[in-house]
Amino acid sequence: MSEELEQYNFDFHRETAEIVRDGSEELKIKIGEFAGPLDLLLFLIKQEQANIFDIPIAKITQKYLEYIQIMKQLDIAVAADFLVMAATLIEIKSKMLLPRDPKAIGEEEEFEDPRQELVDRLMEYEKFKSAAGMLYERSTIEQAIFTRGPIESDDNNAEVDASVFDLLTVFQKIAARHVDEIKMEIEREEISLADMIKSLKARIFELGEVNLLEFFEEMRSKRELVTAFVAVLEIVRTETVKLLQKTTFGDIILRKAA
């Protein structure tokens, strides 16, 4: 379906009608860049090169309705506001078709053009549209200006959530240290993962928090260290505990979540 849409050709104002593929999964359809019905109306008036004070209402209404039709064909949910404007246009059109009250003829100053209110709204809207353009330009300029980055001081360096990668770094640090240690062949009972989880859990709940570096240091073999590491991962996954790192490259603390 998306392929079909991409080849869709618009009969009118192709220059603003475009279909934009956003990423590979999401297909975004952008018909021009109309911010609302007034925006669309202004576009149509300009396209017809019509005078805003003397809008050819029949023609503009027809174009407007065609446009809404296209939106419907493209399965775009036509916002209610666009339909309200369509109704307003049709109302104005019908009012203009009505013959004027013969008694009122000659009293030119009392005759109010049915289009007047719409013109006022369009004029008011266009000012803000221009103001929006001004803001756009300003923000573009501002984006080209940079201030210095924040200085890392203890004040603004709040506790940050440590990631699994930070955890891995700590693990590697200790594993590397273990390599240098003199190996002694001593038969000992290996602690199981279940026991390791149990003992770590008990420690967290007793002390409130456990410094991971210290915890890993206690391990007597690489095997135990790996078991301890897996236990930490398991506890973080299943229990209400948080990994915290107070400073960049600082110790990671396992804390009972409040």
What is the binding site for another protein (CB under 8 A)?
A: 33, 35-39, 79-82, 85, 121, 123-136, 138-148, 150-151, 156
Task: Output 124 or 195, the one with its CB closest to another protein.
Answer: 124
Task: Output 60 or 231, the one with its CB closest to another protein.
Answer: 60
Least Å distance, CB 45 to another protein, is: 12
3-state SS class at 9: coil
The b/e string for 102-121 (b: 16+ C-beta within 10 A; e otherwise) is: eeeeeeeeeeeebbeebeee
CA distance 63 to 45: 10
Going by the DSSP 8-state scheme, the letter that residue 114 receives in this structure is: T
Residue 119: which of 16, 50, 32 has the closest Cα?
50
Task: Output 92 or 253, the one with its CB closest to another protein.
Answer: 92
Least Å distance, CB 50 to another protein, is: 14
Least Å distance, CB 30 to another protein, is: 10
Least Å distance, CB 21 to another protein, is: 17
In sequence order, which residues have a C-beta less than 8 Å from that of residue 150 and are 6 or more positions away? 156
Least Å distance, CB 227 to another protein, is: 39
Contact present, 197 and 236 (Cβ < 8 Å): no
The b/e string for 7-17 (b: 16+ C-beta within 10 A; e otherwise) is: eeebeeeeeeb
Least Å distance, CB 86 to another protein, is: 12
Task: Output 153 or 248, the one with its CB closest to another protein.
Answer: 153
CA distance 209 to 213: 12
Query: At 130, which amino acid appears?
Result: S
Distance between start and end Cα atoms, the chain = 50
Least Å distance, CB 248 to another protein, is: 18
β-bridge pairing 241-245 and 160-161: antiparallel
In sequence order, which residues have a C-beta less than 8 Å from that of residue 235 and are 6 or more positions away? 197, 200, 201, 204, 241, 254
Task: Output 81 or 190, the one with its CB closest to another protein.
Answer: 81
